[in-house]
Protein backbone atom coordinates (compact mmCIF):
# COMPACT_ATOMS: atom_id res chain seq x y z
CA UNK A 1 0.00 0.00 0.00
CA UNK A 2 1.25 3.49 -0.86
CA UNK A 3 2.06 6.02 1.87
CA UNK A 4 -0.45 8.69 2.69
CA UNK A 5 0.06 12.14 1.12
CA UNK A 6 0.81 13.64 4.55
CA UNK A 7 3.53 11.08 5.27
CA UNK A 8 6.91 12.80 5.60
CA UNK A 9 9.86 11.50 3.62
CA UNK A 10 13.02 11.42 5.72
CA UNK A 11 15.76 13.51 4.21
CA UNK A 12 19.14 11.87 4.65
CA UNK A 13 22.14 13.98 5.67
CA UNK A 14 24.27 12.26 3.00
CA UNK A 15 21.84 13.43 0.31
CA UNK A 16 22.02 17.02 1.57
CA UNK A 17 25.82 16.91 1.72
CA UNK A 18 26.04 15.54 -1.82
CA UNK A 19 23.74 18.28 -3.13
CA UNK A 20 25.78 20.94 -1.31
CA UNK A 21 29.03 19.60 -2.74
CA UNK A 22 27.82 19.25 -6.29
CA UNK A 23 25.50 22.24 -6.68
CA UNK A 24 26.42 24.62 -3.86
CA UNK A 25 24.30 26.48 -1.36
CA UNK A 26 23.29 29.19 -3.85
CA UNK A 27 21.13 26.70 -5.77
CA UNK A 28 17.49 27.29 -4.75
CA UNK A 29 16.64 23.58 -4.69
CA UNK A 30 19.63 22.91 -2.44
CA UNK A 31 18.67 25.75 -0.08
CA UNK A 32 15.16 24.33 0.12
CA UNK A 33 16.51 20.86 0.86
CA UNK A 34 18.82 22.21 3.58
CA UNK A 35 15.92 24.09 5.16
CA UNK A 36 13.66 21.02 5.04
CA UNK A 37 16.42 18.83 6.53
CA UNK A 38 17.04 21.39 9.29
CA UNK A 39 13.36 21.61 10.21
CA UNK A 40 13.12 17.83 10.18
CA UNK A 41 16.16 17.48 12.45
CA UNK A 42 14.97 20.21 14.84
CA UNK A 43 11.63 18.41 15.11
CA UNK A 44 13.37 15.12 15.88
CA UNK A 45 15.52 16.81 18.54
CA UNK A 46 12.40 18.34 20.11
CA UNK A 47 10.63 14.97 20.13
CA UNK A 48 13.60 13.10 21.57
CA UNK A 49 14.34 15.98 23.97
CA UNK A 50 17.79 14.79 25.00
CA UNK A 51 21.11 16.55 25.18
CA UNK A 52 22.62 13.80 23.03
CA UNK A 53 20.14 14.50 20.20
CA UNK A 54 20.89 18.22 20.32
CA UNK A 55 24.65 17.66 20.36
CA UNK A 56 24.45 15.22 17.45
CA UNK A 57 22.35 17.71 15.47
CA UNK A 58 25.07 20.36 15.87
CA UNK A 59 27.70 17.84 14.81
CA UNK A 60 25.64 17.05 11.71
CA UNK A 61 25.27 20.76 10.97
CA UNK A 62 29.07 21.04 11.03
CA UNK A 63 29.23 18.39 8.29
CA UNK A 64 26.91 20.51 6.13
CA UNK A 65 29.09 23.58 6.65
CA UNK A 66 32.16 21.58 5.66
CA UNK A 67 30.41 20.39 2.49
CA UNK A 68 30.36 24.00 1.26
CA UNK A 69 33.86 24.76 2.56
CA UNK A 70 32.68 26.95 5.46
CA UNK A 71 35.24 25.93 8.07
CA UNK A 72 34.32 28.80 10.39
CA UNK A 73 30.65 27.80 10.36
CA UNK A 74 31.59 24.18 10.97
CA UNK A 75 33.88 25.08 13.86
CA UNK A 76 31.14 27.24 15.43
CA UNK A 77 28.62 24.38 15.21
CA UNK A 78 31.19 22.03 16.73
CA UNK A 79 32.00 24.55 19.46
CA UNK A 80 28.31 24.71 20.38
CA UNK A 81 28.20 20.91 20.44
CA UNK A 82 31.44 20.71 22.44
CA UNK A 83 30.21 23.09 25.13
CA UNK A 84 26.94 21.22 25.48
CA UNK A 85 28.66 17.81 25.52
CA UNK A 86 30.99 19.03 28.24
CA UNK A 87 28.21 20.48 30.38
CA UNK A 88 26.04 17.37 29.94
CA UNK A 89 28.85 14.92 30.71
CA UNK A 90 28.66 13.32 27.25
CA UNK A 91 32.31 12.26 27.28
CA UNK A 92 32.21 10.06 24.19
CA UNK A 93 30.61 12.80 22.09
CA UNK A 94 32.96 15.40 23.57
CA UNK A 95 35.99 13.31 22.53
CA UNK A 96 34.60 12.84 19.00
CA UNK A 97 33.97 16.57 18.68
CA UNK A 98 37.46 17.46 19.91
CA UNK A 99 39.04 15.03 17.43
CA UNK A 100 37.00 16.52 14.60
CA UNK A 101 37.93 20.08 15.62
CA UNK A 102 41.60 19.16 15.88
CA UNK A 103 41.48 17.60 12.42
CA UNK A 104 39.87 20.70 10.94
CA UNK A 105 42.25 23.11 12.60
CA UNK A 106 45.03 20.81 11.52
Query: Does residue 5 sit within a domain?
Result: no
Residue 53 CB: number of other CB atoms within 10 A? 14
pLDDT per residue as tens digits for the range 31-85: 999 999 999 999 999 999 999 999 999 999 999 999 999 999 999 999 999 999 9
Is position 65 within any domain?
yes
Note the pLDDT of residue 9.
84
Q: Is residue 1 part of a domain?
A: no
| CATH of residue 99 | 1.25.40
For the entire predicted model, the pTM comes to 0.86
Q: How far lies 17's CA from each of 13, 56, 88, 89, 94, in Å?
A: 6, 16, 28, 29, 23
Q: Which residues contact 23 (CB under 8 A, 6 or more apart)?
A: 29, 30
Q: Is residue 7 part of a domain?
A: no
pLDDT for residue 7: 55
Amino acid sequence: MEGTPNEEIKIEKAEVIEMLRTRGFDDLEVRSLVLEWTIQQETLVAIEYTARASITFNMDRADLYMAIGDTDGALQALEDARLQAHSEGETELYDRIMAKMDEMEG
